[in-house]
Structure 1
Amino acid sequence: MAPDTTAAAATAGLPQERRLVTAVPGPRSAALHERRRGAVSDGVASTLPVYVADAAGGVIVDIDGNSLIDLGSGIAVASVGNAAPRVVDAVQEAITHFTHTCFMVTPYEGYVAVAEKLNEVTPGSHAKKTALFNSGSEAVENAVKIARLATGRTAVVVFDHAYHGRTNLTMALTAKAMPYKAGFGPFAGEIYRMPMSYPFRDGLDGKEAAARAISQIQTQIGAGNVAAVLIEPIQGEGGFVVPADGFLPALSEWCTANGVVFIADEIQTGFCRTGDWFACDHEGVVPDLITTAKGIAGGMPLAAVTGRAELMDAVHAGGLGGTYGGNPIACAAALAAIETMEAEDLVGAARGIEAIARPRLEALAAETGRIGEVRGRGAMIAVEFVARGTTDPDAAAAGAVARACHAAGVVVLTCGSYGNVIRLLPPLVIGDALLSEGLDVLADAVRGL
């Protein structure tokens, strides 16, 4: 298939094509992997041990010269593409001035400008304020801190299949034991897990699923004890579970009626990924606090909590922060990444990706009988593998398909509480031809089961 020649790819200078010159991984990657084994903790795993030399647009080029189609975006981080021109230019300019001063010691404009932009683009027209951090886990931890302090309550409600991070508190908030929680306890207390709306598996509509969860909250905790309800509007690591329409609005309304802080974890779903600026926009849900990271800064480490000004200001001076939070280089990258999203209509691009991918995946499901459901929105699409003729999870099938894709030069990711889901998170700047070729490879892998 002819290579793509999108503007982003042409500027970055990498041909947008799948090209295999060795096995995957190749000999140079294998040699470097041996070095890694002697130097890097075995606790740090990699999905596909090819070692990257260059990446741009929708491709990753490894040190053996293989060019792989990227349908993972570093887990939704490189949404504007790797080496996005505006991001590169902004980082190069910023780094000539200073690399760090610590905003808590001597502040700078970039931090303020990012906060202003997040206050503008996140859901809701109310007065908002923002605090910046380094990672999604930090953002979630600080959102919980803010909610507890502002309400004077301690209980935090989370959901089945949730993933919120790897720190002690966010492990407690996360549902899946292996590999995230196993052996790392004891965990933080006052965390309560409720049933998620999972239409493929529970058969409930949104209002029914919300009523079930709310009933359990009121019975098991008591509304007056709940500081926050924390939820991913579309679950990420848990399997791209999309709640039934009406579920999120009902939870949000219950929170408002009971003085509970509604926190939307949009770390994976945010910044155009789902075909809206934020996944909450789909049903007009306005969270009290929203956590963001991943796609915010074109690959630079940055995260944020944005929320109602009165909540954000409830914290005493010095109660929020961190040495590297809102690093000036990351702030420059974030402003450039958001500018790219606006200028290149990456909301529209995400919807275009869904328009190509969803019909093909649904046809593949009907053809093979191995896919129980195709779900997701925008450029956040997943397929859940089941044993033929049942809804029983089939993790072995998902693993086999992922391995086949990797060997053929296409990066895909598995996920799900049962390990039976393949998730697609392509860069929003990927060309149509490259995306279609990646889907061809995936389809061949599923047919080969």
Structure 2
Amino acid sequence: MSTHLSSAVMADPRELSRRYLAGGIASINRQADPDIVFSRAQGAYLWDTNGKRYIDYHAAFGPYALGHNDAAVNDAVKRVLEEGDSLYGSGTTELEGRLAELICGCAPFLESVALLNTGSEATYQAIRLARAYTGRDHIIVMQGGYNGWHNDVACNLMTPLSELGEERKGEEYPFLPISAGIPVAHQQLVHPVGFNDLEAIRTVVARHKVAAIILEPILQNIGIVKPLEGYLQGLRSIADEHGVVLIFDEVKTGFRHALGGYASIAGVNPDLAVYGKAIANGYPVAALGGKKVILDLFVDKDAKRRVLLAGTYNAHPVMVAAAIATIERLKSNDGEVYREFERKGAWLQAEIEGIGKTLGKQILVGRQGSALCPYFMDHMPVSWHDLAANHNFAVDGAIRKEVIADGIYTFPIPVKQWSISAAHTDQDLEETVKVLKKVFASAKL
């Protein structure tokens, strides 16, 4: 080991990051209080640099559906490395065609697929395809949704009500960027609306030449906010009536809830769907799939209609091997993993809500399969505005910090998703409930 590397390893990683990394951290979304440096992870557990073990429900924002360092996934990666499979830089590889076949076999509306590296890349390409396909420029996004970091969608996430103003049922909200550097002219093409508000969709479609509606079918960046009955079906009908491309951002919902994503559970087929996170159990892969007639714009003979698809690391063999192994595991035993997700998730939900009833306190749990979020309000939220107006954010934040101190790790920001993995045991869940009983009993709800 070189002297330089040795000294770097011994240095406080926080100090190194603050000195050399832009912003002091590789992704600003990872900033958290308490500021813990983790040193390793295995299965359902994390360990910090002091050797303390945590039962992990953060799962790095959700990708670890199988648990950290899943043996089957890691073995597939090792085989690729040992056999010398590489990124050749020309032509295709054996693995990428196999992964595309597996993905397309997960849902009937997946006729073709493009392989990318991140969810943000995939939503970027989905919107560009929609604009090319329709010849229109405007898009609709959801207040409280997150679809990536690029100009079209870097807006209107967890907007304070002091900035957002009154609820605008049937109308759009102003574009409220979550990043500097987005041109005003570009902002005028993007129209945020409230989730579960079909009338607002109709209003925007009537006013503008809309290319696409893009949304998480469940808002999983503000916990678990589900679509109301008929909402997704209503979006499908509006899109069909007006020639709008319907895009489901299933970066968080896809492969965690079902092989065909939440679309297959809801019975609503989008025109395009985007996947990431759980598709490769923590390895950086994303996929954009859907109607072949739209995806074929990547190779359209008319240069004026052709959409550029490029990326040196698209379908890197290591990542593709991880995705193949993950999907094969999720498919095994006729989807046994998903049955276990539902069993564990339902049990934990019932226990948490039961604690609330015992204490006479308002605790509700939004849940879909293995993803859940406790809410401290008297009803399940249906939109960001509803959640922001009624949820007890102070209690939520305080509880998260207390359970972390007791060895249960969930991201210490209110209304962020908890994720159960296939590696969580019943004993892990029971230990978690024991901690929650203690913490909830002392909370000022």
> Scaled by the length of structure 1, what TM-score is found?
0.81
Aligned CA distance change for structure 1 residues 387 and 339 (closer, same or farther; 3 Å)? closer
1 CA distance for matches of 2:326 and 2:110? 24
Which letter does structure 2 place at the counterpart of 1:185? I
- The equivalent of 1:175 in structure 2 is 157
User: What is the aligned counterpart of 2:401 among 400, 403, 415?
Assistant: 403
Query: How many residues end up aligned between the 2 structures?
Result: 396
Task: Show CA shifts across 1:409-443 (max 9, x none).
Answer: 1111255xxxx425211223311110221232233
Once the two structures are aligned, what percentage of the paired residues are identical?
26
Provide the residue aligned with 2:14 in structure 1.
33
**Distance in 1 separating the partners of 2:370 and 2:203:** 33
List aligned pairs for 1:83-162, cutoff 5 A. Answer: 83-96=69-82, 97-102=84-89, 105-121=90-106, 123=107, 125-126=108-109, 128-162=111-145
Q: CA 1:218 to 1:261, structure 2 compared with 1: closer, same or farther past 3 Å?
A: closer
Q: Which is further off, 261-270 or 356-365?
A: 356-365
Indicate whether 1:331 and 2:310 are aligned: no
What is aligned with 1:5?
A: none
Which amino acid in structure 1 is aligned with residue 293 of structure 2? E
Could you tell me which residue of structure 1 aligns to residue 193 of structure 2?
Answer: 194
Cross-structure match for 1:301: 284
Of the three residues 207, 211, 223, the one matched with 1:220 is 207
Distance 1:320 1:30 in 2: 41
Q: Contact conserved, 1:128 with 1:309, CA < 8 A, in 2?
A: yes
The one-character-per-residue Cα deviations of 1:102-139 (angstroms, maximum 9, x if unpaired) are: 3xx33211111111111111x3x256111111111011
> Secondary structure of the residue that 1:169 maps to in structure 2?
coil
Which stretch shifts more, 137-146 or 43-52? 43-52
CA distance in 2, matches of 1:285, 1:340: 25
Distance of aligned partners of 1:368 and 1:275 in 2 relative to their CA distance in 1, 3 Å threshold = farther
2:230 is the alignment partner of 1:230: no
User: Taking structure 1 as reference, are residues 166 and 336 closer, same or farther at Cα in structure 2, changes over 3 Å only?
Assistant: same
Distance 1:362 1:255, change over 3 A: same
Say if 1:402 and 1:422, in contact at 8 Å, map to a contact too: no
Contact 2:298 2:309 in 1 (8 A): yes
Q: Partner of 1:168: helix, strand, or coil?
A: coil
Displacement after TM superposition at 1:315 (Å): 3.0
Judged with a 3 Å threshold, the aligned counterparts in structure 2 of structure 1 residues 220 and 313 are, in CA distance, closer, same or farther, namely: same
Q: Once the 2 structures are TM-superposed, how far is the Cα of residue 369 of structure 1 from its aligned partner?
A: 5.7
Q: 1:94 to 1:180 in 2, by over 3 A?
A: farther
Does 2:270 match 1:287? yes
For the residues of structure 2 that align with 1:364 and 1:246, how far apart are their CA atoms? Answer: 32
- Distance change (3 Å), C-alpha of 1:407 and 1:31: farther
Shift of 1:387: 9.6
Summarize the Cα distance change of 1:127–1:307 in structure 2 as closer, same or farther, 3 Å threshold: closer
Find the residue that maps to 1:86 and give its secondary structure. Answer: helix
Q: Is the 8 A contact 1:149 1:315 kept in 2?
A: no
Matching residue of 1:270: 254
Partner SS, residue 218 of structure 2: coil
Partner of 2:234: 250
Return closer, same or farther for 1:259/1:422 CA change in 2, 3 Å cut-off.
closer
1:58 to 23, 44, 47: 44
Rate the CA distance shift 1:258–1:185 in 2: closer, same or farther, 3 A. Answer: closer
- The reply to whether residue 241 of structure 1 matches residue 225 of structure 2 is yes
Q: Distance in 2 between matches of 1:302 and 1:422?
A: 22
* Alignment correspondent of 2:384: none
Match in the other structure for 1:423 = 417
Gaps of 5+ in 2: 1-8, 161-175, 301-306, 380-386
Identify the residue that residue 245 of structure 2 maps to in structure 1.
Answer: 261
Structure 1 gap ranges (5+): 1-27, 198-208
Question: TM-score normalized by structure 2?
Answer: 0.82
Looking at structure 2, the residues matched to 411 and 314 of structure 1 have their Cα atoms a distance apart, in angstroms, of: 44
Query: Structure 1 411/277 Cα, relative in aligned 2: closer, same or farther at 3 Å?
Result: farther
Which of 58, 74, 86 in structure 2 is aligned with 1:72? 58
- Tell me how far apart the structure 2 counterparts of residues 446 and 30 of structure 1 sit (CA, whole Å): 38
**3-state SS, counterpart of residue 304 of structure 1:** strand
Residues in 1 aligned to 2:442 and 2:181: alpha-carbon distance in whole angstroms = 38
- Distance in 2 (CA, whole Å) between partners of 1:333 and 1:237 is 25
- Cα displacement (A) at 1:400: 0.5
Partners of 1:324 and 1:342 in 2: how far apart?
26
**In 2 relative to 1, CA 184–413 (structure 1 residues): closer, same or farther, beyond 3 Å?**
farther
Q: 1:220 to 1:403 in 2, by over 3 A?
A: same
SS in 1 for 2:372: strand
In 1: Cα distance, 2:110 partner to 2:410 partner: 40
